[in-house]
Amino acid sequence: MGYAYSKIAEYDVIETGSSRTSSIGKSSAESLSKLERSVIQLSMQDTPRSIQTPSKWGARLANLLGREQPNHLASQPLEELRRFAIMTRVRGEADAAMLHRLADAGYSAGQAELAINLVLRHSAQSNKERTQTTGWLLILVVAAFVFFAMQATLEETMVSIIVASLAFATLASLVAPREQ
């Protein structure tokens, strides 16, 4: 089953097969409204701790230390969707209990499947971006090591800078994505 969408909150319509919804109308059994997609997108930055209810002492300690308490959504179905998205992102899949809670909140199996796909695609994209950033930082650390190693042996700053720059450029060209 193919899904047509680009960014979660950018478009007013997500289609699955032949059913569709707009941001104004009520969502059909196989689609999510713009508000529901926005809830999923916003939940990508939330931690599992944001869906837990703190103990009485934990809440007092958080207030004393100036920590913000997590705010839950006023709409119970949207809060269940947010919880579902957070736990699906953290676990990498949706278990039966999570699906049952989402169904109890009024969502269909098609909407749950669409929510899972949105969450997992967003998570995969975030992981890819994080991996690329880590790779560039690693190259930068290697270039800095080359600079300091050259500086210690030659005591020539300009030569060390040139060699470190060449090392950085060489490593960057080796790991940069190639057009096919």
Q: Which pair of structure tokens corresponds to residue 172? A: 């960057």
Residue 179 banded pLDDT, cuts 50, 70, 90: low
Mean pLDDT value of segment 27-42: 80
Going by the DSSP 8-state scheme, the letter that residue 95 receives in this structure is -
Phi/psi-derived region of residue 170, left when phi > 0, alpha when psi is between -120 and 50, beta in every other case = alpha
34-43, 110-119, 124-133, 149-158: which range is least confident on average?
A: 124-133
Lowest mean pLDDT among 2-6, 34-38, 161-165: 2-6
Percent of the chain surpassing pLDDT 70: 77
Q: Which residue has the tokens 């990508």?
A: 44
DSSP 62: H
**Burial of 128: CB neighbours in 10 Å, binned 0-12, 13-18, 19+:** exposed
C-alpha distance from residue 175 to each of 1, 67, 99, 159 (Å): 34, 41, 40, 24
pLDDT of residue 27: 46
